[in-house]
Amino acid sequence: MVRKYPQLEVDLSILRSNARQVITHCQQQGIRVCGVVKGVDGLPEVARAMRLCGAEELGTSRLEQVERCRAAGVGGPWLLIRIPGLSELPDVVRLCETSLQSERVTLDALEEECVLQGKTHRVIVMADLGDLREGFWDKDELVDVCVRVERELPHVHLAGIGVNLTCYGSTKPTPEKMQALLDIAARIEKRIGRKLEIISGGATSSYTLVHWGTMPAGINHLRIGEFALLGGIYGCYPDFLRRDVFTLRMEVVECKPKPSYPVGELTVDAFGKTREYTDRGIRRRALCAAGRVDYGDPFDLTPRLAGVEVLGASSDHTILDVEDAAVPVRLGDVLDFGGLLGHAPIMPISKYSPAVMIHRGGRIPAPMQALKN
């Protein structure tokens, strides 16, 4: 089979282990998990793994990802975790059982679309508790809208309320923020005369409260993807999770000695940034055939081969210093990278030959067999 690069490998066994740990931890505190798959572009294999590990529903921010997963046999329930546009409502009702909502007009239009399709759609109405992205800022308005959904929109089911934190305004999830959400839920429940099914305390960043044991009782739903995919986030990296779910592979397309400092009058780079360079003389450097348009920030990558240093990247190339690589890097080699995607550096090769020991005769004890490699 001819392999094409760049290539992103997802280790499903490690992902399943991470997801199972996170979901079980949440379940022990009475919290259901929506397994979010937007971080892998809605790969059906990852969605299927999330469900097998106990995620009660699946979530993403792109309707085309839901369609792709359903076509691959990964059924619902599906939660749209991005506020939908009015133009998207036909597909929202067709593809998803539940969606996040934050506009009265959109909720009214959703009712009309449900009537047209002969369906009932569940909604989680969002509260803005300071992150200043989606959600009702006026909490009285939020309560009134929820009451209206309950009483006047028969095809739109008020499943619950939710919040998002950290994603835009860097607002930290705290027990106080969660209690504020619970207080709003109590006001709504008093008005509608029943318990809300879902009080969604946020996304991956809110899992930190579960991990530290500070999540208030009553929060019963989280939308989690990154924590299982990356093995942690925001400085919280539990030792029971692995950080090598992903391996990025890139092919070396040029490898030769060059100056380490640019030659000529310097200006900004292709992205309008002023870069700093260190003159280390002539160094062997390699170009890999992938860049920022493929993976984002090159400085989030960690080479798996010890001694390789990421110098930077343009849109389509990654520039590496390979002068001190543990194994000589050559044209055509394929290099593995982790970083935010995991880290497992290769140890340098010993400079000393084991030939005398190997050829001395007799038996080599089992633990020593690896020295022959």
Residue among 38, 119, 195, 372 flagged as catalytic = 38
Question: Measured between alpha carbons, how far is 204 from 210 in angstroms, rounded to an integer?
Answer: 10
299 token code pair: 């400085």
In sequence order, what are the residues at sequence separation of 6 or more whose Cβ sits closer than 8 angstroms to the Cβ of residue 114? Answer: 93, 120, 121, 155, 156
Angle at 178 between CA 214 and CA 109, to 5 degrees: 145
**Pairing status of strand 32-36 against strand 57-60:** parallel
How far apart are alpha carbons 72 and 56 in whole angstroms?
18
The residue among 208, 231, 223 whose CA lies nearest residue 56 is 223
Q: Which residues contact 268 (CB under 8 A, 6 or more apart)?
A: 274, 275
Q: If residue 359 lies in a helix (H) or strand (E), which one and from where to where?
A: none
Between the CA of residue 348 and those of 26, 188, 288, what are the distances in Å? 41, 62, 22
DSSP state of 262: -
Identify the CA nearest to 215 among candidates 185, 176, 258. 176
- Residue-wise DSSP of 205-223: GGHHHHHHT-PPTT--EEE
Token readout for 346 is 């290769």
Q: Find out whether 74 and 54 touch, Cβ atoms under 8 Å.
A: no
| Cα gap 373→351, rounded to integer Å | 14
According to DSSP, residue 87 is labeled G
Contact of 349 with 327, CB cutoff 8 Å: yes
Give the C-alpha separation, 352 to 349, whole Å. 9
Q: Is 38 a catalytic residue?
A: yes
Report d(CA 36, CA 329) in Å as an integer: 38
Catalytic annotation, residues: 38
